[in-house]
């Protein structure tokens, strides 16, 4: 059984000017303002970089950058002797832009702020603000020529705001990854889902939440939840004392054995204490970014909208795959020929390595790679990955040639798979394909493993760009791959291709 740790208790503690009573004085009500005063007493730097203040920080920085862009545009226009028509209207440009960014939700608090996902809202908001300035000047003075001045403001604003946001987000992520930032977090529900949430937060500190324990009145035994690392601190009824004793800032409601009627008052109490609350919904496997919130009277309804891998959207994806692959092959043909020559000269054997893989709907095909290893000098032993790990990378004896190490480190050995894409066997982006003998094994052992075969396998994928290459956790890889399928869009494919370039530069793939 997992040891349940009682919440820490003290005779009395003083936070600011407010006295907080211990668990032994539970019959005395805690002041509602206490938690809010605790939150306000936090270091201003942490509040700015990892709290509600981060939205205000982005707002102020955006406003400063937009003001500098206006100044730079006016100075540049005067130096180039461009018409200054619209200068007065341009003074409203910063306020109008931040108002549009606010409407687009760019100042909301999020677990992880994606730089790529923030590009379109920033550019579109700046563009709309610039068009409004031009329209206002055109209506007020039909003979004016504000385009040159406003175009400069648009260009400077895009560069300045974009660079500032990249710097802020990167600084926050680095601080979180180094453990300098992180909100103490309690998870309600110590079962399989709760343990999975805690493990994910521990493995990815960039989310900014640091799990310190669970609240569960009837936690499952440790033998049933083998990956539960944090302790069970008590029952949901102990929330207040755990919050004050452990300085908790965030509460996540995962699945627990408590009835919903007891959890609703818990959420209300979290709100009163000034805590951020997150919820893992039921049927979370079927919820994607296309979900729509409706209301049946006072009852919320989530309309689930699944992606159809055989629908017209994926037909567009496959057309894009083949056109893009043909262009890439044409552009990289000199590199393909050079690598082929290098493989041939580096060691005896064929240029191409062929291996049977399972793709969409269980169809088996030969996946192509440039050969990077010497031939076996004897009959090889059958490789068996560690339990819970995927195969890949160097399996058994390391037979990589010197040239093979280079092309694997730079992912050049993967380029022949472009021909698999042209033949319709693969996609540019999708789950990595596996060998038939492993597919039959993983289908029985890994939950939802077979769901990956709803779509074509890919040269790169959502799991790969998040570090799940080679002999890494198979369950995690399946989770990321199924997330990609459920949330697929052309923009997600483009984002994965861009992240693949970054991943190749930062960390050599060994898949």
pTM (2 decimals)?
Answer: 0.77
Work out the mean pLDDT of the chain and round it to a whole number: 84
- The overall longest dimension of the chain from CA atoms, in Å, is 85
Indicate the Cα dihedral angle 15, 18, 24, 28, nearest 10°.
-150
In the predicted model, is pLDDT for residue 259 greater than 50? yes
Integer angstrom CA distances of residue 316 from 309, 327, 459, 497: 11, 17, 18, 17
Q: What is the mean pLDDT of residues 207-229?
A: 88
User: Is residue 488 a contact partner of residue 476, using CB atoms and an 8 Å limit?
Assistant: no
Question: What is the tens place of the pLDDT at every residue in 30-81?
Answer: 444 444 444 444 445 566 676 667 888 899 999 999 999 999 999 998 888 8
Mean pLDDT across 149-161: 95
Which residue, 72, 52, 68, 62, is CA-closest to 125? 62
Tracing tokens 């300045």 back to the chain, one arrives at 160
Percentage of the residues of the chain whose pLDDT score is greater than 90: 43
Residue 503 has pLDDT above 70, yes or no: yes
Higher pLDDT among residues 476 and 152, named by residue: 152
Which runs of consecutive H residues, i.e. helices, occur in 207-285? 239-246, 260-272
Judge whether residue 18 has pLDDT over 50: no
Task: State residue 5's pLDDT score.
Answer: 56
Q: Which domains does the chain have, with CATH numbers?
A: 53-177 (no CATH), 184-303 (3.40.50.20), 312-375+388-506 (no CATH)
- Give 420-434 pLDDT, tens digit per residue: 999 999 999 999 999
Nearest to 425 by CA among 456, 453, 455: 456
How would residue 12 be classed by pLDDT, with cut points 50, 70 and 90?
Answer: very low
| CB contact set of 339 (below 8 Å; sequence gap of 6+) | 370, 407, 412, 413, 415
Residue 387: Cβ within 10 Å count: 7
Residue 36: what pLDDT?
Answer: 46
Exposed (0-12), middle (13-18) or buried (19+): which is 392, by Cβ within 10 Å?
buried
- What's the pLDDT score for residue 508? 52
């Amino acid at each position: 059984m997992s040891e349940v740790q009682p919440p820490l208790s003290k005779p009395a503690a003083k936070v600011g000017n407010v006295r907080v009573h211990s668990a032994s004085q539970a019959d005395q009500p805690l002041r509602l303002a206490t938690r809010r005063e605790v939150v306000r007493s936090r270091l201003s730097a942490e509040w700015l970089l990892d709290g509600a203040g981060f939205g205000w920080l982005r707002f102020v920085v955006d406003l400063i950058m937009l003001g500098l862009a206006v100044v730079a545009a006016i100075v540049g226009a005067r130096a180039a002797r461009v018409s200054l028509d619209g200068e007065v209207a341009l003074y409203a440009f910063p306020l109008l832009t931040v108002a549009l960014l606010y409407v687009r939700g760019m100042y909301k608090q999020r677990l992880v702020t994606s730089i790529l996902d923030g590009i379109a809202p920033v550019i579109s908001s700046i563009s709309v603000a610039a068009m409004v300035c031009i329209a206002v000047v055109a209506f007020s003075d039909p003979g004016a020529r504000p385009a040159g001045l406003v175009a400069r403001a648009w260009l400077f604003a895009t560069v300045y705001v974009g660079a500032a946001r990249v710097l802020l987000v990167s600084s926050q992520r680095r601080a979180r990854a180094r453990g300098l930032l992180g909100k103490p977090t309690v998870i309600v529900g110590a079962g399989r889902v709760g343990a999975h949430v805690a493990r994910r937060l521990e493995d990815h500190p960039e989310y900014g939440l640091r799990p310190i324990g669970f609240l569960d009145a009837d936690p499952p035994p440790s033998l049933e939840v083998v990956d539960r690392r944090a302790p069970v601190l008590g029952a949901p009824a102990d929330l207040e004392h755990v919050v004050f004793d452990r300085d908790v800032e965030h509460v996540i409601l995962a699945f627990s054995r408590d009835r919903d009627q007891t959890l609703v008052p818990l959420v209300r109490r979290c709100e009163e204490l000034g805590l951020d609350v997150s919820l893992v919904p039921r049927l979370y496997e079927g919820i994607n970014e296309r979900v729509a919130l409706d209301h049946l009277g006072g009852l919320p309804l989530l309309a689930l909208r699944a992606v159809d891998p055989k629908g017209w959207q994926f037909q567009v994806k496959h057309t894009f795959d083949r056109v893009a692959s043909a262009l890439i092959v044409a552009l990289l043909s000199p590199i393909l020929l050079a690598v082929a020559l290098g493989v041939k000269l580096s060691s005896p054997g064929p240029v191409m390595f062929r291996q049977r893989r399972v793709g969409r709907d269980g169809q088996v095909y030969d996946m192509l790679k440039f050969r990077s290893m010497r031939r076996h000098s004897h009959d090889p032993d059958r490789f068996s990955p560690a339990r819970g790990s995927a195969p890949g990378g160097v399996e058994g004896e390391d037979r990589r040639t010197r040239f093979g190490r280079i092309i694997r480190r730079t992912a050049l050995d993967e380029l022949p798979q472009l021909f698999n894409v042209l033949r319709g066997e693969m996609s540019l982006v999708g789950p990595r394909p596996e060998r038939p003998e492993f597919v039959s094994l993983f289908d029985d052992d890994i939950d939802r493993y077979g769901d990956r075969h709803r779509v074509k396998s890919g040269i790169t994928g959502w799991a790969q760009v998040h570090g799940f290459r080679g002999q890494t956790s198979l369950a995690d890889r399946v989770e990321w791959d199924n997330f990609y399928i459920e949330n697929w869009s052309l923009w997600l494919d483009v984002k994965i291709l861009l992240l693949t370039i970054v991943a190749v530069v930062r960390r050599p793939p060994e898949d």
